[in-house]
Structure formats: structure tokens, C-alpha cells
Amino acid sequence: MTWSANLSSRHSGDLLKLHDILNLDSGFRLVFAAYNNRIYRDRLIDELGKDYKQTIIDAKNNPALTTSFQTQSDKVQLLHMIGTEQWFTPDTSIKDIYQLNYQRETLAAAFQDTVVVLWLYDNQITEFAHEAPDLWAWRKAVLNFDSELLETKSSIHLNLLDPYNVDDKDKKLRLENINRYLQDQDVHSLADGQLWLEKSHILQILGLWDDALAAVKQSQEIAHTYQDKRAECIANRQFAHILVQQGNLKQALQIYQKQVLPVFEALGDQQQYANTLGRIAFIAQLQGNLELALINQQQVLSIYEALGDKYSSAITLGRIAGILHQQGNLQQALQIYQQVLDIFKDLNNRSSYALTKIKLADVLQECGELAQALQIYQYEALPIYDKLGDKDGSAIATERIGLIKLKRGELQEALELYQNRVLPIYKQLGNKHGILNCQYTIAMLLEKIDINTHQTEINNLLCLSLQAAQDMRLPIVKMIKATLTRLGMHCQNK
């Protein structure tokens, strides 16, 4: 056996074991090999090919997997089974594992003097062992070929966070960790692609949208290299999501319709298909095409219901209520929100329950029921968010309270809420979009309270919000500019 410089020295022990199994043992031998870098796995397979007569069976999209055993039978010393990751996707392909489990004897009979190496991601080995216990029981060895640098990565992956609800400093720390790790990679694994995606999410919330777009492009490329259509599709969707936030609805819609929706359909992934259709409906809603939005959301709802996905059904029902609200069908919207509340209560999903309460109160506001709406924001939704430690939710609820105060003419109280409660939360979360909206609203409140006293402050706030909006290329730029013109104000830098 020769040692290749292409291989990591930390795998020498397990590679030696594999060589021993090949040379010192006989009969059918099944080996589980854990890996997390496809390129490194292929390199290993290539190296083994120099010493042994081997073949590769790709389990991916191979309905005749067990029959292919017969054709390959016993002609090789080493057989690699790859493409197994699709067995673990949330569709019906887990049945392939059951089938393989039942075909254990067939496999052993076909490869009476062959080492069969089943390549699986490390975490998939556990699932495989449980779902195919009989085949697992015949294992000769479980070898670990996780690539070296990914050890650090695994700890990063374990730290996945809720980017919407983590403090700014933690987001930045996370970004630093991701950046440091990614910089060290010569070749990116598929898992790295997920890190790029996460990085994009964080950057997006921090309002660094160009960087977010660049990160998501990396994720796309990695997924494309590995021919992982699902991962590529999810990256495309994130790309389009950022475009939506920037107001580039046309391009976003094209991506959803041409690059995302058909792929999920082809993959048979109903869940993601429905999710994307929901996003398309949202664009229609933003474009004011409420009829189309409603039709699309109803289609989304029927898919989720057929899948038995209660949570997503409830979310979609809430979105339908939102469209009805926008159409002016307030009573119908209220009825549906009530229905949604009952579902979230059953599901014990407090965060979604609180958000639905807020939306229901929004309708009540529209009906002129300000007191009732305030009661809901202040004493029903906000305490839930506070109890959950959901800062983003707390900011949303407090903003609504501020709006009611504003509507009631309680301007000073509204200002206090925006200045002392809402803005600090968005700053703490590093939510650039939230900060921008807040600054603009504070400027408008100050204008109403006393424009003369607060002129400089208003000008500063408008300029700050304009700068942020321009950085993010938001449609709100026009509105801020119009306000500045109306007030006869100017910004020095931009």
C-alpha cells in the first residue's frame, strides 16, 4: 500500500483498516465509511483504485439498485456505493434503505468475495443503522473519513442560530467564525455551501445586502458543483428573497418561477414547492395583484393540507387573511385570523400565536377599534414575546403600540416608545431595515411635535435613513427624498 500525499494523515489508521479488511479477510465484507467532503471521498476512491479492482454504484436515482448488484457481482475486490444522501431526503426514498435492508442476503450472495463500502455522511450512519438494522448488523467496520478541517466546521454547524433573534454582537461573532473557517478551505464541501447560505442570511439582516448576495452566490456555485439541485434551489430562493427586499420584484419573480419552482416540482418536493409558490403570491400581493395572490395562496394551502402540515397550513391561512384585509374584507379576515389562532393554540406555537394576534389587532385598528387593538398589542402579544425572549417580536408589538399612540395624537408617548424601546432593540439586533424604518418614523413624529425645535435632528434622521435605504437599494428612497424636499432639507454626503 502506498500513501498518497493527497490524503489526510489522520485517516491513515482507518485506511489501513480498510486495506487489512481487503487483504487479510475474505468473503462478503460490508464497511460503512463516514465522510463529509465529496471531493475528498472521490480522491480516496481514486487512490484505492490504484491498488484494487473496484467499481462504483451510484444509488442516486437508481431504482434498479438491487438488480445492479447482479450485473456487478463478484467481479471486483472493492465496490463503492455512493449517492446515498438522497435516501435521507424527506421524501419517499427512505424506502430504498428498507429495500436494501431486506436484500441483505442478495447483496452478500452477489458479492461473496468483495468489500462493499457504503459511503454515508457521518450523521446519516445513525439513521441508516436504525432504519436498516439487519444490514447494519453485518457490518465489518465503521470507518471515519470526515475531512480534517471539517472538524472545526462541525462545531460551527452545531451552533446554528436564529439570525432574526440574536444580538448584533453574536451575529457578528458568528460571521467572524464562519469567515475564518471558510477562508481556510481550499475546496468547499456541500456543507460549506450551507455556511455560505447562513452567512447570507445574517448579512441580509444586518442590511449588508450586496455582501449577502455575494455569499448566496457562493452557496449556489457550491451546490451547482456538487450537482445538488435542492441546495442550489434553496440558494436561488434566498437570492430572490433579497431581491424582493430590495424591491426588485421582477427579477425575483423570474428566479422563483424559472429557477426554483420547476426544480422543486421535478424533485417532487411538495413542501418546498408550496413555500415558493407562497413567495410568488407575496410578490403578487406587493404588486397589488391581490386576486392572483389570493388564488396562489389558496393553492399553497391545499398543498399543505394534503401533506397534513398543520403549521404551514395555518401560516398560509394567515396570509390569506392578510390579503383579505388588504382587499377590505375585514370581517372575513378577522374570522380567518381567529381560526388560525385556534390552530396555533392547539400546536402550542406561542410565537406564531402572538404574531397572529398582532395581525388580528391590525384589522381591528382598521375597524376603528383602537382600544381593543392596543389591549391586544400591549397585554396579549407583547408579554408573550417578552416571555419568549423574542426581541424581534417585542419590537414589532411595541411599534404597533406606538402607531396607536400616534393615531390617537399621543405623539410624545409614541416618540418615547420609538426612541427608547423600538430603536434600541433594532440596534441591538443589528436589523438595518428596522433601524431605518424607526428613524424615519421618529423623524415624522418630531416633525408633528415641533418641527422648528427638532429641525436638525429630523434632518439627521432622514439623512441616516436615506443613506441606509440607498445602501440597501430600497424603494423607500424615493419617499425619503420626497420628504426631505418637502421639508426643504438636504443631506451632505449623499
* Footprint on this chain of other proteins (rule: CB under 8 A): 17, 20-21, 24-28, 95, 98-99, 101-102, 104-105, 108, 125-126, 129-131, 133-134, 137-142
**3-class SS at 76?**
coil
Report DSSP letters for 18-48, one per residue.
HHHHHHH--S-EEEEEEES-HHHHHHHHHHH
Write down the least CB distance from residue 28 to other proteins, Å: 5
- How many CB atoms sit inside 10 A of residue 234's CB? 24
H helices of 328-349, in order, are 330-347
**3-class SS at 309?**
coil
Instruction: Tell me whether residue 98 or residue 311 sits nearer to other proteins (CB atom).
Output: 98
Instruction: Tell me whether residue 17 or residue 421 sits nearer to other proteins (CB atom).
Output: 17
Instruction: Tell me whether residue 105 or residue 176 sits nearer to other proteins (CB atom).
Output: 105
Instruction: Tell me whether residue 155 or residue 227 sits nearer to other proteins (CB atom).
Output: 155
Instruction: Tell me whether residue 22 or residue 382 sits nearer to other proteins (CB atom).
Output: 22
- How far apart CA 138 and CA 116 sit, in angstroms, is 11
Q: Are 394 and 425 in contact (CB under 8 A)?
A: yes
Instruction: Tell me whether residue 31 or residue 44 sits nearer to other proteins (CB atom).
Output: 31
Alpha-carbon dihedral 249, 250, 252, 253, rounded to 10 degrees = 110
Write down the least CB distance from residue 493 to other proteins, Å: 54
- How far apart CA 494 and CA 488 sit, in angstroms, is 15
Write down the least CB distance from residue 18 to other proteins, Å: 11
Write down the least CB distance from residue 49 to other proteins, Å: 23
Instruction: Tell me whether residue 45 or residue 129 sits nearer to other proteins (CB atom).
Output: 129
- How many CB atoms sit inside 10 A of residue 201's CB? 20
Instruction: Tell me whether residue 101 or residue 419 sits nearer to other proteins (CB atom).
Output: 101
Write down the least CB distance from residue 129 to other proteins, Å: 6
Q: Are 360 and 341 in contact (CB under 8 A)?
A: yes
Write down the least CB distance from residue 36 to other proteins, Å: 15
Write down the least CB distance from residue 146 to other proteins, Å: 14
- How many CB atoms sit inside 10 A of residue 92's CB? 8
- How far apart CA 253 and CA 296 sit, in angstroms, is 13
Instruction: Tell me whether residue 88 or residue 138 sits nearer to other proteins (CB atom).
Output: 138
Write down the least CB distance from residue 66 to other proteins, Å: 9
Write down the least CB distance from residue 283 to other proteins, Å: 42
Handedness of CA 43, 139, 98, 106 (dihedral sign): positive
- How far apart CA 202 and CA 172 sit, in angstroms, is 8
DSSP at 367 = T
Write down the least CB distance from residue 103 to other proteins, Å: 8
- How far apart CA 341 and CA 321 sit, in angstroms, is 12
Instruction: Tell me whether residue 122 or residue 170 sits nearer to other proteins (CB atom).
Output: 122
Instruction: Tell me whether residue 142 or residue 295 sits nearer to other proteins (CB atom).
Output: 142
Best CA proximity match to 236, nearest among 220, 222, 248, 247: 220
Write down the least CB distance from residue 140 to other proteins, Å: 7
- How far apart CA 42 and CA 119 sit, in angstroms, is 10
For 455, counting Cβ atoms within 10 Å of its Cβ (0-12 exposed, 13-18 middle, 19+ buried), the class is middle
Strands (E), 13-164: 29-35, 54-58, 78-82, 115-121, 139-145
- How far apart CA 325 and CA 328 sit, in angstroms, is 5
